[in-house]
Amino acid sequence: GQSLEQPSEVTAVEGAIVQINCTYQTSGFYGLSWYQQHDGGAPTFLSYNGLDGLEETGRFSSFLSRSDSYGYLLLQELQMKDSASYFCALRDTGFQKLVFGTGTRLLVSP
């Protein structure tokens, strides 16, 4: 099977940079995705890494290293509205099925 591990909680202050790590075990996958979910809300797509390396989308960047079974989401210039849960997810090779990690709760303080 597939499994993904993330830290349960990360705290940071406004304006700072924070990195959320994701380590995984899998026999094969297409890529690593990241989703954001505010309390009580729907997850929204942030980023996708199909290849090794860094993908940048505005204040958010995501990185994947298949040789290390590791990825991370980097959030820069943190804002209060970034307080949310962040999930990494593997895209299964058989279909577009996603396997989600347990999520990291990010708390941004003033």
Partner 1 sequence: DGGITQSPKYLFRKEGQNVTLSCEQNLNHDAMYWYRQDPGQGLRLIYYSQIVNDFQKGDIAEGYSVSREKKESFPLTVTSAQKNPTAFYLCASSGGAGFSNQPQHFGDGTRLSIL
Closest distance to partner 1 from the beta carbon of 22 (Å): 11
Which parts of 34-63 interact with partner 1 (CB under 8 A)? 40-45, 48, 50
Closer to partner 1 by CB, 33 or 61: give it.
33
For strands 9-13 and 60-65, give the pairing: unpaired
Q: Give CA separation, 61 vs 6, 83, 96, in Å.
A: 17, 16, 22
Q: Which residues contact 85 (CB under 8 A, 6 or more apart)?
A: 36, 37, 38, 39, 103, 104, 105, 106
Nearer to partner 1 by C-beta: 95 or 110?
A: 95
Q: Hey, which residues between 9 and 38 contact partner 1 (CB under 8 A)?
A: 30-31, 33
Question: Is the C-alpha dihedral spanning 31, 87, 82, 7 positive or negative?
Answer: negative
**Min dist. Cβ of residue 52 to partner 1 (A):** 15
Contacts with partner 1 by CB under 8 A lie at 30-31, 33, 40-45, 48, 50, 87, 91, 95-103
